[in-house]
């Protein structure tokens, strides 16, 4: 099953992808997670990416295209993949089409999680993250013990790009550079819209209904 989860920052892509990856046993490929791991490890890529990420800008296409090519050619993608946060521009989508043709794993569907701007701001400003990859929300999905990850017991933190000013910039960048991909994949007949406003398990069920058609 070859799926891209699409939607604005805060739509719930990471939350859903984590569960979907377990359910369908396909790797969750989050370019944001890969970039943050590089920032944490202070790699050359991480140092370059951080400048853009902290400002709510997109990391340049050539960097992302190289990164996704390397990741998609790893052996765990043999059974399929679940993309989260890639592609975010038309050049990234064009490059993805070429890479997927080379490895003979074309997309089955692009699942667009739709959430209002007002709700996105609430979700992003209340998000609390853990270095193990788990993420919580102060009100909508709080951890059992305040400030502590249920999964690994580490302290939770607020992402540098989840402050109010950067959130607004990220939403503006989404509208300008990423949203045009809705028409792009609509024209390819791959786009499926999902209402992302409901509870996590409701959205999960709706996405499974789409993915089950591609098993
Ligand atoms: P994305 O990966 O699309 O940026 P996340 O999955 O990190 O978004 O979700 C953003 C925030 O919203 C997190 O704090 C998450 O716990 C919360 N969240 C995700 N899905 C829902 C939902 N259906 N209802 C309420 N809060 C949600
Ligand atoms: P995310 O975790 O998906 O919210 O991504 C966090 C940040 O990483 C984004 O605001 C960008 O700066 C960067 N990023 C992640 N994926 C991409 C991508 N496909 N293209 C460009 N920048 C990206």
Q: What is the DSSP letter of 57?
A: P
Looking at every residue in the chain, the average pLDDT score rounds to 97
What does the alpha-carbon distance between residue 196 and residue 61 come to, in Å, rounded to a whole number? 27
Q: Is residue 208 part of a domain?
A: yes
Q: Is 59 in the pocket of ligand 2 (CB under 6 A)?
A: yes
Q: Is residue 193 part of a domain?
A: yes
Q: Is residue 83 part of a domain?
A: yes
Q: What is the pLDDT of residues 169-203, one digit of tens each?
A: 999 999 999 999 999 999 999 999 999 999 999 99
Helix axes 200-211, 13-24, angle to 10 degrees: 50
Task: Tell how far the Cα of 179 is from the centroid of ligand 1, in angstroms.
Answer: 19
Q: Is 170 in the pocket of ligand 1 (CB under 6 A)?
A: no
Place of tokens 């999680």: 113
Does 8 have pLDDT greater than 90?
A: yes
Q: What is the pLDDT of residues 140-160, one digit of tens each?
A: 999 999 999 999 999 999 999
Report, as an integer, the average pLDDT of 87-116: 98
Q: Is residue 185 part of a domain?
A: yes
Q: What is the pLDDT of residues 118-142, one digit of tens each?
A: 999 999 999 999 988 899 999 999 9
Report, as an integer, the average pLDDT of 114-119: 98
Non-local (6+) Cβ contacts of 59 within 8 A are 35, 48, 49, 52, 53
* Residue 192 domain boundaries: 2-27+74-115+176-214
Task: Tell how far the Cα of 99 is from the centroid of ligand 1, in angstroms.
Answer: 29
Q: Is residue 203 part of a domain?
A: yes
CATH, residue 101: 3.40.50.300
Q: Is 34 in the pocket of ligand 2 (CB under 6 A)?
A: no
Does 215 have pLDDT greater than 90?
A: no
Burial tier of 196 (Cβ tally within 10 Å: 0-12, 13-18, 19+): buried
| pTM, full prediction | 0.97
Report, as an integer, the average pLDDT of 43-62: 97
Instruction: Provide the domain count of the chain.
Output: 1
Place of tokens 């990859």: 133
Q: Do 117 and 84 contact (CB within 8 A), yes or no?
A: no
């Amino acid at each position: 099953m070859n799926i891209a989860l699409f939607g604005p920052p805060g739509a719930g892509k990471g939350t859903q992808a984590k569960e979907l990856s377990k359910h369908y046993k396909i790797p969750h490929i989050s370019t944001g997670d890969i970039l943050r791991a590089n920032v944490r490890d202070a790699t050359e890529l991480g140092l370059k990416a951080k400048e853009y990420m902290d400002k709510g800008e997109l990391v340049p296409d050539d960097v992302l295209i190289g990164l996704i090519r390397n990741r998609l050619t790893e052996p765990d993608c043999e059974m399929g993949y679940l993309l989260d946060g890639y592609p975010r521009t038309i050049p990234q989508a064009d490059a993805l089409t070429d890479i997927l043709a080379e490895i003979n794993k074309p997309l089955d569907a692009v699942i667009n999680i739709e959430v209002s701007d007002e709700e996105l701001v609430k979700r992003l400003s209340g998000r609390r993250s853990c270095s193990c990859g788990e993420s919580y929300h102060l009100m909508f999905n709080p951890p059992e013990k305040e400030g502590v990850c249920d999964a690994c017991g580490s302290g939770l933190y607020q992402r540098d790009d989840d402050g109010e000013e950067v959130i607004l910039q990220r939403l503006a960048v989404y509208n300008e550079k990423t949203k045009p991909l809705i028409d792009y994949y609509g024209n390819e007949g791959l786009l499926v819209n999902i209402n992302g406003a409901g509870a996590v398990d409701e959205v999960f069920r709706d996405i499974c209904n789409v993915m089950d058609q591609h098993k």
